[in-house]
Amino acid sequence: MFSFFQASDYSNFVPQKNVNAFNVRTGQGIMLNLNSGYEALETHGLRTCVAFALICPSQELALLVHFFHPDQIKNNLSNIVKQFLEESKNEPIICHIAGGRSFFSISEDMCELLKKYVQEHLSGSNLKLRLNAPIIAQDDDTFSLLANLKTGDSSVYLTQHISQEEYEVSNDKVDFVNLVSKPQTQINFK
């Protein structure tokens, strides 16, 4: 069963970014803590894509992945979340699922896969879920997500920001970097 959110529910007011935020691009993911020099994670260009964030304010730790295709979730999510849970040390976490388009089957599939994963694998933990997906919106409506490591606060807002950088996006792999663990872990990082 789908829950739908309206684009009109979101402000086009961009939150004041008085924090140093790491930008996660399409098909990428990052896990970092406050020691990395960043205070927040952000991603832009959420149309049919879906963002998945885990935040542990007590450990000042966050993970953000910008999923482009359901196969990325099927092939990568478990390993990425496992690394986060090891670092969070069973402290309370906040999960935020945002973006995606209602009535676009790939987006709805990604939203359902992420919700199912949270229900099956994270429901026993001390978890707070923030769900903002899928969204009923115009084709040109674009959303962004900003997540603060210290407070655990996150915002979804309308934006026109889409990266113009050229880079390769894989349908089945996520370029993931763990900036918390020593030595640095890289999975399919290009």
Identify whether 92 is part of a domain: yes
Do the strands 61-67 and 93-99 form a parallel or antiparallel pair, or are they unpaired?
unpaired
The reported pLDDT for the residue numbered 182 is 54
Is residue 178 within 8 Å of residue 185, measured between CB atoms? yes
- Is the CB of residue 89 less than 8 Å from the CB of residue 53? no
Q: Is 57 helix (H, G, I), strand (E, B) or coil?
A: helix
Phi, psi at 171, each rounded to 5°:
-75, -20
| Displacement of CA 31 from its chain's centroid (Å) | 10
User: Which pLDDT score, from 0 to 100, does residue 186 have?
Assistant: 43
Whether 5 maps to a domain, the answer reads: no
| pLDDT value, residue 1 | 45
Q: Domain range for residue 109?
A: 21-187
Per-residue pLDDT tens over the stretch 103-145: 889 999 999 999 999 999 997 768 899 888 888 888 888 888 9
In a domain, 161, yes or no: yes
Q: Is 8 inside a domain boundary?
A: no
Domain-embedded: residue 87: yes
How do the pLDDT tens digits run along the chain, 190 residues long? 456 666 666 666 556 667 788 999 999 999 999 888 899 999 988 889 999 999 999 999 999 999 999 999 999 999 999 999 999 988 999 999 999 888 889 999 999 999 999 999 997 768 899 888 888 888 888 888 999 998 888 888 888 656 555 556 777 888 888 888 754 444 443 3
Closest CA to 33 of 132, 177, 190: 177
The answer to whether position 149 is within a domain reads yes
For residue 9, being part of any structural domain is answered with: no
CATH number of the domain enclosing 108: 3.30.1330.200
**What's the pLDDT at 14?**
59
Which three-class secondary structure string do you get for 113-175? HHHHHHHHHHCCCCEEEEEECCEECCCCCEEEEEEECCCCCEEEEEECCCCCCCCCCCCCCCE
Q: Is residue 74 part of a domain?
A: yes
C-alpha of 112 from chain center? 14
Q: What is the model's pLDDT at position 177? A: 86
Q: What is the DSSP string of 69-123?
A: SHHHHHHHHHHHHHHHHHHHTT--EEEEEEE-BTT-HHHHHHHHHHHHHIIIIIT
Distance between CA atoms of residues 36 and 57, nearest Å = 15
Instruction: For tokens 């979804």, name the residue.
Output: 156
Q: How many domains does the chain have?
A: 1
